[in-house]
Structure 1
Amino acid sequence: MQKIIIALLALVVISSCSEKKSDKNLQITGNIKGLKKGTLYIQRIKDTTLVAIDTIIIDGDSHFKSEMNIDSPEMLYLFLDRGVSNSVDNNLPFFVEPGKINIESSLEFFTADAKITGSKNQELYDEYKKVVSRYVDENLELVKKRFTAFKNKNTAELAKIQVEQDNILKRKYLYTTNFAVNNASHAVAPYVAVAEIYDINLKYLDTIQKSLTPEISKSIYGKQLKQLIEERKKLEETK
């Protein structure tokens, strides 16, 4: 009987050891349907250059996992090396934050099929992109009209199209500002400010920065927004 109890205790110890929690604050899991062989790189931007921070070899099993520590929420990139020439469909941006993030996609439509869960910042960023895509589509239609007007040397039409494009840009910038202010407690707020409207009037960038919570102000993109504002102010003082 004693031997049985000792054996059971040993199994409990072994089990507890095997279930030891990771000491990393970010766990990324995922599945690229149809990917049998290739390499995945998890990248981050460092000094304006994408740098690999983890390499995952896929050989037979399309599921993958990566663990790491991050200081604050951050935009990372999942790059798929297909073993052939690169394309725009090979690099998937995804917003991470401490916790568990899952990425589901396919080899055929790597970025288009991507479904990212577990990140509130990613969820908010998806909402942002959905609205901004409308402005992009509107502008593309005007680009087509501009080309036709240019061919026909229709200066009046060109001037009209320019006004319409300027209005679209203003609407995008206003929406982005409101989005950032309304989501000031999430890192996606300073991110869109720095990435999407860095050249907007300084008063709007100031408004976004002042709306950020103390925690987000200290985040990667909160610091970048502060630096951007300081540099813009110095530049304007020299004019």
Structure 2
Amino acid sequence: MKKTVLLFVAFSLFIACKKEETIGDANLHITGNVKGIKQGKLYIQMLQDSTLVVVDSIIFDGKSEFESHLKIDSPEMLYLFLDRGQSNSLDNNLVVFAEPGNLSIDTSLETFYANAVVKGSKNHDLFQDFLKINSRFTNEQLVLLEKEIKAKQENNQSRLDSIKVANEKLIKRKYLYTINFALNQKEHEVSPYVALSEIHDAQLKYLDTIHNSMSPKVADSKYGKMLTKFIQERRKIEQ
């Protein structure tokens, strides 16, 4: 019995020490609140080699507040997934552009993604601004798609031709907006991120312009290095 108690105490101390080491090594402190949640689990994930990896998990058991200590080399996206248990919802995923320092996430069980308020990251604020404008292009594309379907049903070729021209112009506007956004935010890591995620198939000269405009700090970040590598690989393929 004494041995069992001693082993338990030793194991508890080991876990406590490991946790202190983890917290001591962390440079990102996340605090949050999911209003209305009683039970469930929150997974915090990072993208590593094209795979989402869980870096922390929080169990909710009566309290809605949560806290996490992580280490990130530079600003990067975190992918939060809320496991509600038996209740189903499409609003379970939240993407946060985290930066080293203190980050707060205030949201609710009913609208986990829709009404989430994230504070403490300039890159996240900028990315949200980008998404607001980018969503307008998406909405315009949906309108054109509806028109295209109708024109096909009516077998109206002239209408289809005009829709095609309109869609090409829309795509060009969307790409130009993204390029300008990336250039204007050259001091922030969101610049190479949107280049990689939104316009990776743009002409190399545009990606080169974004790449060459990045500040040394951004160029040395996770997404800055990824953009450099991506451009080098594309150049080899296209030569």
**Which residue identity lines up with residue 93 of structure 2 in the other structure?**
N
% same residue: 53
Equivalent residue, structure 2, for 1:151: 153
Equivalent residue, structure 1, for 2:180: 178
**1:120 Cα offset (Å):** 0.3
Q: Using the alignment, how far apart are the partners of 1:109 and 1:87 within structure 2?
A: 9
TM-score relative to the length of structure 2: 0.88
**1:23 Cα offset (Å):** 4.5
Q: Using the alignment, how far apart are the partners of 2:193 and 2:222 within structure 1?
A: 9
Equivalent residue, structure 1, for 2:212: 210
Q: Using the alignment, how far apart are the partners of 2:152 and 2:109 within structure 1?
A: 40
- 1:171-193 Cα deviation digits (max 9, x unpaired): 11111111111110100000000
**1:56 Cα offset (Å):** 0.4
Equivalent residue, structure 1, for 2:81: 79
Q: Using the alignment, how far apart are the partners of 1:171 and 1:77 within structure 2?
A: 29
**1:87 Cα offset (Å):** 5.2
**1:164 Cα offset (Å):** 1.0
**1:84 Cα offset (Å):** 4.0
State how many pairs are aligned.
Answer: 217
TM-score relative to the length of structure 1: 0.88
Change (3 A) 1:50 1:108: same
**1:24 Cα offset (Å):** 1.9
Equivalent residue, structure 2, for 1:139: 141
Written as runs of structure 1 = structure 2, the 5 A alignment for 1:1-239 is 22-84=24-86, 88-237=90-239
**Which residue identity lines up with residue 142 of structure 1 in the other structure?**
L
**1:207 Cα offset (Å):** 0.2
Q: Which runs of 5+ in 1 are unaligned?
A: 1-20
**Which residue identity lines up with residue 116 of structure 1 in the other structure?**
V
Q: Using the alignment, how far apart are the partners of 2:38 and 2:87 within structure 1?
A: 17
**1:166 Cα offset (Å):** 1.2
- 1:171-221 Cα deviation digits (max 9, x unpaired): 111111111111101000000000010000110000000000111101000
**Which residue identity lines up with residue 140 of structure 1 in the other structure?**
L
**Which residue identity lines up with residue 168 of structure 1 in the other structure?**
L
Equivalent residue, structure 2, for 1:11: none
| RMSD, matched Cα | 1.4
**1:76 Cα offset (Å):** 0.7
Q: Using the alignment, how far apart are the partners of 1:214 and 1:88 within structure 2?
A: 40
**1:85 Cα offset (Å):** 7.5
Q: Using the alignment, how far apart are the partners of 2:165 and 2:96 within structure 1?
A: 34
**Which residue identity lines up with residue 57 of structure 1 in the other structure?**
I
